[in-house]
Amino acid sequence: APQVDGRADPGEVVWTWVEYEDDPARGKDRPVLVVGRSGRRLLGLMLSSQSERDGQSGWLALGPGAWDREHRPSWVRLDRVLEVPEQGIRREGAVLDRARFDRVAQALRHDHGWR
């Protein structure tokens, strides 16, 4: 479980600016699941509440969570890892429960060779 130590930990959902892949000059503020860290940079996976993500390759269903004020179902994108400077996040206090985080970790290990 994430620690209350002032640093974002794996399993936390934070908010940050995410550039569009097709136009890095543009982007969107969105929730990101922290899955690791590299120095002062966080490794994260973006979340989406767009229902067309259901069943799409590279996306894993998470269900609803506190990161979405309307509690809509969400999906996590597994095939695009974001490197986010820790000072570039807003912590909103949302934590993904252990069972769902373990599903994400298992999918990363299985689909992308993470250890």
* pLDDT per residue as tens digits for the range 18-30: 999 899 899 999 9
User: Phi first, then psi: what are they for 93, rounded to 5°?
Assistant: 85, 10
Confidence of residue 4 (pLDDT cuts 50, 70, 90): low
Strand order in the sheet with 12-19: 59-63, 74-85, 41-48, 27-38, 12-19, 90-95
Residue 47 in this model has a pLDDT that exceeds 90:
yes
Kindly report the pTM of this predicted structure: 0.90
Confidence of residue 1 (pLDDT cuts 50, 70, 90): low
Residue 34 burial by CB count (10 A; 0-12/13-18/19+): exposed, middle or buried?
A: buried
Q: CB within 8 A of 70, min separation 6: which ones? A: 49
Domains and CATH numbers, the chain: 12-112 (2.30.30.110)
pLDDT in tens, 68-101: 999 999 999 999 999 999 988 987 768 999 999 9
Q: CB within 8 A of 29, min separation 6: which ones? A: 15, 16, 17, 18
Other CB atoms within a 10 A radius of the CB of residue 56 amount to 12
When computed from its CA atoms, the radius of gyration of the chain, rounded to whole angstroms, is 13
